[in-house]
Amino acid sequence: MATAFQELEQRWAEIADIQNGLGILGWDQEVMMPRGGVTARSRTMATLHGLIHERKTDPAMVGLVRRLSRKGTKLTPRQRRAVALARKAVDKAANVPADLARKIALAESSGVESWRAARQQGDFSLFADELARMVDLKRELARVRSKRGKVYDALLDDFEPGATMADIDPLLNELKTFTQKLLKRVVNSGVEIDVSPLVGRFDVEAQRGFARSVVLAMGIDLDRGRMDLSTHPFCGGVGPGDVRMTGRYDPSDMRGGLFGVIHEAGHGLYEQGLDPRRAGTPIGGAISMAIHESQSRLWENNVGRSRPFWKYWLPRLRRAHPQLKGVNLEKMWRAVNCITPSMIRVEADELTYNLHIVLRYEIERDLIEGRIEVRDLPDRWNGAMVDLLGVEPANAAEGVLQDIHWASGLFGYFPTYSIGNLYAAQIMEAARKGIRGLDRRIEQGDLLPLRDWLKTQIHGHDQVFDAAKTVRRVTGKPLSTDAFRRHITRKVKAIYG
Amino acid sequence: MATAFQELEQRWAEIADIQNGLGILGWDQEVMMPRGGVTARSRTMATLHGLIHERKTDPAMVGLVRRLSRKGTKLTPRQRRAVALARKAVDKAANVPADLARKIALAESSGVESWRAARQQGDFSLFADELARMVDLKRELARVRSKRGKVYDALLDDFEPGATMADIDPLLNELKTFTQKLLKRVVNSGVEIDVSPLVGRFDVEAQRGFARSVVLAMGIDLDRGRMDLSTHPFCGGVGPGDVRMTGRYDPSDMRGGLFGVIHEAGHGLYEQGLDPRRAGTPIGGAISMAIHESQSRLWENNVGRSRPFWKYWLPRLRRAHPQLKGVNLEKMWRAVNCITPSMIRVEADELTYNLHIVLRYEIERDLIEGRIEVRDLPDRWNGAMVDLLGVEPANAAEGVLQDIHWASGLFGYFPTYSIGNLYAAQIMEAARKGIRGLDRRIEQGDLLPLRDWLKTQIHGHDQVFDAAKTVRRVTGKPLSTDAFRRHITRKVKAIYG
């Protein structure tokens, strides 16, 4: 069967080439494109997406993956895995009626427009009809795909292959419960953290230079990537040879810039750590969104907000910003770990962040499963904010309209953020066991042992193993909330008593 | 027939979308891409080129353009022109045997590699076999395409649609003859031009800032374009909404940076001046390479090396580079118009540049027509340099190996540079008649009347008219060497007596 498998690889390489083109065009759109390029770019990207869909649903491709999937086909285990991944992608493309796919594509682009307008006005009603249409289309898509079981699972699978509500519900429930308990402890402690080391006036070029040193110390290879500026930081491009990270620096608040860049560099290391020999094959690329997010979160939170990290980097940050002269390690460590319930997910601290996610997960799950409707959203959102975080949005812009995800059709994406946090803590515990004196190395500014360990354990395997197998291979256990609970409880106790 | 024509437009739009993607990917490759991106990028660009070829040679497309080309088909004149353009492109793609197309693509990429190595060593023999293979392939391609007539014409047509050796030979012969006469006059005059206003030490940021002011004054809209740095300046991207110009600044010589940017902005104005309503249709886009080059040359030479231009810009250049305090208008104008026979085409002045082109044209024409062979090239080149310019290359790197064109398969391209110069002078004469007080406006720094006139006369018509019709419409006459001769003779007399 070597020939049929080779044909699959050839066909897949062409799809990957187009996908890589989209990676650069998407980056350019956010980072470089002048305003006048919008129309041509949208057309080009839609056409390239269409070509990928055409290639995946080509009867020859569909026949090929079906033939290769048959029992008795002589394939190595890796080839079998590649065929399974290809077949899943092909089936996903082939099973969606063209008319539904077109309607969804249209709803996604008009959804973002109308969301933007509504958010600017702080008026959910301007977006409600559009969102309701989107939800109907996504429900239909999910129903088409899920032959049995829960429809939400069909959407979740786009971001977290193989994950189901049955897996996620208990994890996020546990996470919610102990986070709320810890948050109560924080709020009742009366401890006030001084964030003045991070909030004030900070030269933007100095911030950029410092962030760059950290990223280089993490082992990002700028011969195989770039760092640029963009309104919304992200990591894109074409892994592993051309990985593009962006950042954004606020002169009055250092947090978003520094931790944003560390976060994106965590994603970047994953992409740069993929095996170039598998690039463009069905088994090449990252495992799932949550595993990707675990890499960014591990660097941002488990490393970047740790004492050993700041032991090395604080003196360097002081040189970049001389006004920090009087700030000692303890003060800086507390400042970067300040916990405050707030309205906006992307500004949330390491603890309350997960409550923002639980809120969104429960709402989108119930919405897709038909237990609530779009008109119920603002009340449900505001009620949940009060329940979970004890704060109430003054308007929809700082409430239900704050994220672009639903407007652009991303249902099933949100939970991967928190699942990523859980993976991150569990993987970091394993790294501490796997790397002798890891914290001492971090204290010395030597971040490469951790990068190399992550590459050997995770990045370099591409999609040979799925998320569940990966976490068991790397940590010896299935995913649980234990490691994250230990990590965050230790921190909260140390800072808030 | 409205439906069939609409179908053609739809199919064409998809091809244009892919082409636009390539425009951005090509720009990114030169300006942004990290080294590690080479492999994936080459693959992606080859795949997208393949998709365009596939789309053009799709039997449905071939059938469609043939049907629409039939006599008696009810079409407006514009539609008829669009069909003719589409048919020509489709036939070109469809008539080349796939095997030959593949061999040429391979030869182009390996040709550039081997040319680079040979140039570095200054050793033509390292490149001769590869070039001979390329010439054979191009001869074959030309033979396949040219049913009757000269084979070189078939290659020329890729860059200058409709032009033939029969048109070009007399023009370039005349150009050669009077240029040689003028050059003799320059050399015998004994006049030495002081180029010190342009050669010395010039702050690169100040150079960049000045070039930017000039480009903005020319009317380049940076909401529909970008200016960046690259090793080899070019104008790319996606016209008319997203036009990307690059420049390169040398701290010891101001000429390449400034005139390079004006040149690329001339191309950029053409692209920005195209009618956005025609973007992505068969009739959309620039007419020919020579017409494109006429726009860059007109701004670079006929405007940028003119007295009225420097009357306005010299005081501003003095502010950017205070060491130019003592330089007056006459001195600057002479400096930017200094004529010196030299080895390298891209560094040549306005007069001798055309001799470099004549040399290349005659060689490539004779090569493709089979009158000489690759082994004859170095002798022929060096002999022609002595004949035409009175200088002899010390090695192949500053001789026959200096340009990338032949290595990358561009035969038929060179003459468009000089034809562009002829168009530029003829169009500039027409502009002086068409715009009241044009030189006075230029003296006042007001370059927009010229931009607007060029847009109305040329840019905004896309490919509605071909090059020959365009020059007749705009200047009232067919292309000749007269205007260029008048222009350059006046200048040479004024400076060299």
Secondary structure of chain B in HEC code, one letter for each residue: CHHHHHHHHHHHHHHHHHHHHHHHHHHHHHHCCCHHHHHHHHHHHHHHHHHHHHHHHCHHHHHHHHHHHCCCCCCCHHHHHHHHHHHHHHHHHHCCCHHHHHHHHHHHHHHHHHHHHHHHHCCCHHHHHHHHHHHHHHHHHHHHHCCCCCHHHHHHHHHCCCCCHHHHHHHHHHHHHHHHHHHHHHHHHCCCCCCCCCECCCCHHHHHHHHHHHHHHHCCCHHHEEEEECCCCCEEEECCCEEEEEECCECCEHHHHHHHHHHHHHHHHHHHHCCHHHCCCCCCCCCCHHHHHHHHHHHHHHHCCCHHHHHHHHHHHHHHCHHHCCCCHHHHHHHHCCCCCCCCHHHCCCCCHHHHHHHHHHHHHHHHCCCCCHHHHHHHHHHHHHHHHCCCCCCHHHCCCCCCCCCCCCCCCCHHHHHHHHHHHHHHHHHHHHCCCHHHHHHCCCCHHHHHHHHHHCHHHCCCCCHHHHHHHHHCCCCCCHHHHHHHHHHHHHHHC
How many whole angstroms separate alpha carbon B25 and alpha carbon B40?
A: 11
Cβ neighbours around B282 below 10 Å, total: 28
CA distances from B200 to A255, B74, B252, B305 (A): 45, 64, 5, 19
Query: A467 in helix, strand or coil?
Result: helix
> Global pTM?
0.95
Nearest to B20 by CA among B8, B28, B30, B31: B28
Show the tokens assigned to A58: 């080509």
Look at residue A2 in the predicted model and tell me its pLDDT.
57
Report whether A352 contacts A335 (CB < 8 A).
no
Nearest to A374 by CA among A401, A394, A395: A401
Listed by number, the residues of chain B in 214-233 with a beta carbon closer than 8 Å to a beta carbon of chain A are: 221-226
Query: A350 in helix, strand or coil?
Result: coil
User: Which residues does chain B have within 8 Å of residue A246's beta carbon, measured at their own beta carbons?
Assistant: none
Cβ neighbours around A457 below 10 Å, total: 18
Distance of CA A469 to the CA centre of its chain: 20
H or E element, residue A26 = helix A2-31
Show the tokens assigned to A315: 């003196």
Q: How close B15 comes to chain A (CA, Å)?
A: 9
Query: A374 in helix, strand or coil?
Result: helix
Look at residue B71 in the predicted model and tell me its pLDDT.
86
Is residue B463 very low, low, confident or very high in pLDDT (cuts 50, 70, 90)?
very high
User: Which residues does chain A have within 8 Å of residue B230's beta carbon, measured at their own beta carbons?
Assistant: none
How many whole angstroms separate alpha carbon A81 and alpha carbon B61?
A: 39
Which residues are A61's β-sheet partners? Answer: none
Cβ neighbours around B110 below 10 Å, total: 14
- Give, as one character, the DSSP assignment of residue A372: S
* Cβ within 8 Å, pair B224-A35: yes
Query: A279 in helix, strand or coil?
Result: coil
How many whole angstroms separate alpha carbon A33 and alpha carbon A28?
A: 6
| Known catalytic membership, residue A113 | no
Q: Is the pLDDT of residue B1 over 80?
A: no
How many whole angstroms separate alpha carbon B251 and alpha carbon B88?
A: 46
Distance of CA B489 to the CA centre of its chain: 23
CA distances from A227 to A220, A222, A265, A360, B26 (A): 10, 8, 9, 31, 20
Compute and round to an integer the Cα radius of gyration of chain B. Answer: 23
Look at residue B72 in the predicted model and tell me its pLDDT.
85
Chain A residue whose CA is closest to B32: A226
Look at residue A262 in the predicted model and tell me its pLDDT.
98
How many whole angstroms separate alpha carbon B101 and alpha carbon B437?
A: 52
How many whole angstroms separate alpha carbon A495 and alpha carbon A296?
A: 24
Look at the alpha carbons of A450, A453, A454, A460 in this order and tell me if their dihedral is positive or negative.
positive
Look at residue A239 in the predicted model and tell me its pLDDT.
86
Q: Is the pLDDT of residue B121 over 70?
A: yes
Q: How close B35 comes to chain A (CA, Å)?
A: 5
Show the tokens assigned to B430: 């027409």
Report whether B274 contacts B299 (CB < 8 A).
no
Of A32, A44, A242, the CB nearest to B36: A242
% of chain B surpassing 90 pLDDT: 93
User: Which residues does chain A have within 8 Å of residue B44's beta carbon, measured at their own beta carbons?
Assistant: 17-18, 20-21, 24, 238
Look at residue B185 in the predicted model and tell me its pLDDT.
96
CA distances from B484 to B352, B419, B424, B481 (A): 13, 10, 8, 6
Nearest to A496 by CA among A279, A274, A340: A340
Report whether A482 contacts A174 (CB < 8 A).
no
* Cβ within 8 Å, pair A34-B279: no
Nearest to B218 by CA among B335, B320, B303, B292: B303
Show the tokens assigned to B75: 């079409």
Q: What angle do CA A412, A413, A415 make, to 5 degrees?
A: 85
* Cβ within 8 Å, pair B224-A34: yes
Q: Is the pLDDT of residue B189 over 70?
A: yes
How many whole angstroms separate alpha carbon B92 and alpha carbon B79?
A: 20
- Give, as one character, the DSSP assignment of residue A250: B
Look at residue A406 in the predicted model and tell me its pLDDT.
96
Nearest to B4 by CA among B54, B75, B52, B59: B75
* Cβ within 8 Å, pair B48-A238: no
Report whether B240 contacts B268 (CB < 8 A).
no
Look at residue B109 in the predicted model and tell me its pLDDT.
83
Q: Tens digit of pLDDT for each residue in A244-287? A: 999 999 999 999 999 999 999 999 999 999 999 999 999 999 99
* Cβ within 8 Å, pair B222-A33: no
Show the tokens assigned to A352: 């309350």
Of A20, A35, A51, the CB nearest to B44: A20
ipTM of the modeled complex: 0.94
Of B25, B38, B39, the CB nearest to A21: B25
B25 in A contact zone (CB under 8 Å): yes
Of A33, A43, A225, the CB nearest to B17: A43
Residues of chain A where predicted confidence (pLDDT) is lower than 70:
1-2
* Cβ within 8 Å, pair A224-B36: yes
Cβ neighbours around A330 below 10 Å, total: 11
Is residue B2 very low, low, confident or very high in pLDDT (cuts 50, 70, 90)?
low
* Cβ within 8 Å, pair A40-B238: yes
Task: Please list, residue by residue across A307-323, b when 16 or more beta carbons sit within 10 angstroms of its beta carbon and e when fewer do.
Answer: bbbbbbbbeebbebbee
Q: Does residue B95 or residue B463 have the better pLDDT?
A: B463
* Cβ within 8 Å, pair A242-B33: yes
How many whole angstroms separate alpha carbon B230 and alpha carbon B246?
A: 6
Query: A228 in helix, strand or coil?
Result: strand
Residue B287, φ and ψ in degrees, nearest 5: -75, -50
Show the tokens assigned to B118: 């040979």
Active-site pick, B160, B264, B300, B362 = B264
How many whole angstroms separate alpha carbon B230 and alpha carbon B40?
A: 20
How many whole angstroms separate alpha carbon A115 and alpha carbon A118?
A: 5
- Pairing type for strands A242-247 and A235-238 reads antiparallel
Report whether B172 contacts B415 (CB < 8 A).
yes
Look at residue A110 in the predicted model and tell me its pLDDT.
87
Q: Tens digit of pLDDT for each residue in A186-206? A: 999 999 999 999 999 999 999
Q: How close A241 comes to chain B (CA, Å)?
A: 4
Of A21, A28, A279, the CB nearest to B48: A21
* Cβ within 8 Å, pair A242-B25: no
Task: Return the residue in B32, B216, B274 with the most chain A beta carbons within 10 A, the one to mutate for interface testing.
Answer: B32
Residue B170, φ and ψ in degrees, nearest 5: -60, -40
Chain B residue whose CA is closest to A16: B44
